Structure 1
């Protein structure tokens, strides 16, 4: 019996991993391992492995081109078929804006053939090397293009420059073609297997950060991301000490975590090399364990599906998004004000991810559970996240605090700000008390270096609604390997003419119901109509006016918990995640304890 061929596949995007693994089940002759990461990130994933244990590498686009420079193994490509191209080209047929297809020459030629046959007026541009993708995308932006269709590298650069983008994905049929090619080649070429590298075995087996230097202090192995460069520098400065001791162990506080760093000096053919392993010890805990008002922030929307989709500022006010990014990057704190459903949570998360503080945690403050004693502890305790290096704090929906507690928090936070280096985010979403809201924003503005953003709404934004819907459908196709190619004209009209009282969150709910209930290539008008009718019925059942803010705080909390549980179909896990608390705390609040 012939042995299985071992294949290491590096997918430039997440959903391709599932397609690779599922399709591999049809090929018992192959043993497929899959990692995910575009270009250099994919190369770093590949470097975790002892490649002598594999027969071939499989990848796509610019990731494949970069991997070929760093391995002697045969590197096979995952193609993009005419069918894959046709799905994308048909999907954007009704897109309102200027479209460019930007990809490598072989894919560009196939796209050109399809566009000529089907009379699609799309402009097609070629990337000769993935390094020039940034320059190409910048040129297209200057020429007025608003949507880039292309490989992972084109999409990454488009997102960095604030353009909307759609990734060209490979279907299961394309993966089968690649596997057939690998089988044909590997059946005739049996690779020479070298001795196993002890160093790479160790790296695979350890849940640690590893650095390996030569005698001149040059990094030979390890993560080369900006977040790790300071640790690299620290280890490199320990090399002179290793010349004397041959081994050292030290501890270092790093971004809210205690690190244990072990260094060793080894001789290989009388040449010294320096090896460092870094273990992350128990993190520094802000305040006492189980603090109910404080949690590590996670966006309320499913990150896997909505990843890469524009937030409400990117969609409706790109100029405001760019200015907000610039100001937050230059040191400003940020306050977001918007109607219900404008999703300030996701916008804060997007700003945080692009900030200089993104390596440290983002802490979310739940105002419903914040008492005066908690405020004092948060603003004075030396273990508070306010005083951790590079931390970020998000005070979510402060409109829910009564005037007295809001003023107390403002005073305490103002004093703490003299010593704190944390980035601060505030949000007021869905508040009906405009006068009180304006007063609170003004007070924040006076106390902190603050940039205030008024979030736009979806009302009368037909073109942007359609563009978002198309991008959402493509994201679903991308993540779930579905093949929805568009919507009926009447379905488009229904979406674009709806008032969207709950804005982006409501649009996401409607689109989610539509794609999940569609098993045909097109989303019908009936599907959209039913989803909108369900939204209207839900609004009638749970009007915002039901929340009585004049009642005692513990009753308001119980009412809010009850409404969230109803909206999450009594799923306590989802309700707790949405409120930013544990299930135990949720149960206690439900019982009024």
Structure 2
């Protein structure tokens, strides 16, 4: 009929590796009945079949068929599906019936594809034939030699079994596969090839989807091996893949810097066949700010907040009550953990999605745009801005909020008129007002140091805890962290006691109370300048941090230093 398209049958290219010549002859006879299979027959057993299998894919074959140990060996060197010819019940029955007429002790030696069926038939028919299963071809020779020493005279099995039987002067009978086994292999070839093609189509589709979603990425398996990688806009030589964790966790390493460029790294966990794989996609960080002025990271898990005290519970409760807000002000003394709370807010709102950026307020005002993956901007040193800069800061913050980006301000003191009613105010208590948190904080900090740096102490004595709880902690949690870090680094035992903690706290108290004899000499202006210079030394000359501590703006600080 005109216009009717004839169906084109896809021929499956099959490489049939026969382990013995007689099978090759039988395959040539059988393949004439398989019109949809383009069968090429080669003879090769075990190691001699490996080169044939290695070339099969590049020679355009779709499937390989072989038998027993040869099929197992081939599977290790090719990506093509391998069909293992079964030894049918007819094949086994023919050989066992024939061998049963032979005098002497008889045995079957072979891989499980032969021995499993043989054992069943010998039991049912009560043939006096013993069955021995091997895992590797190297086991056959020593086993047959041992059987000869035990008085066996007839050995049945695969090609390697027969060769070894001949080698030791024994009667070797080859268990051959008949027509039904070959036709069964052809049928399984059709089924497996159809399934294989479907999976290959799915893989190609997934690759195309990945290509659209991310132009530069790498997939790593649970053993750390690279499964698949693609680099289109980034040179793979710029990325050190050994730095990527093998469990998909980035631990705040969401941005990497190579040369003059910053790249975002987005992790994903893929599960396939019960195994986990980890996809890391890379893209350039698009932002106009000087990269030395901004820190961008991926907050991979909800930060742990110690909240045994009522003050900290109120703080966290306030965050929950304001979670839909876009602008936040974290108000608290230096060292109270405002950065940790900012990351807590970010994760509560966005989970593991989106990036977290840290930048000083004045540098933020110079910025014109932010990367589309940044979901939270944490602004430091607000106190150092003058009134006009603070007003402009709020206008810029409102612009980012309109883009769906949260803006979090960090301030030590809440000055009147700085924040409007649209800002969620979160008050962080000083450590001296939450002393009941010190025990849990100390346990966490000691455990963290042990895991990260391999320090020895794993516990703190009660009397040492009492000292920590009685100290007034002007530097708050940051100071507690520094003291415990120094203590666990110095302690070589497993327990921190007063003999380590006591002298450290006494030294801090003495240092706080001591004022140099000449410090208060001179005019008020002279004393003020000495204070500024002392703070400058503590802050390593960073004028922004100095202005922040002294609660003055940088222009005032600059003027006082100049005078």
TM bucket, shorter chain: 0.3 to 0.5
- Structure scoring higher RCO (CA < 8 A, sep ≥ 6) equals 1
Larger radius of gyration, structure 1 or 2?
2
Q: Using structure 1 for the length normalisation, give the TM-score.
A: 0.40
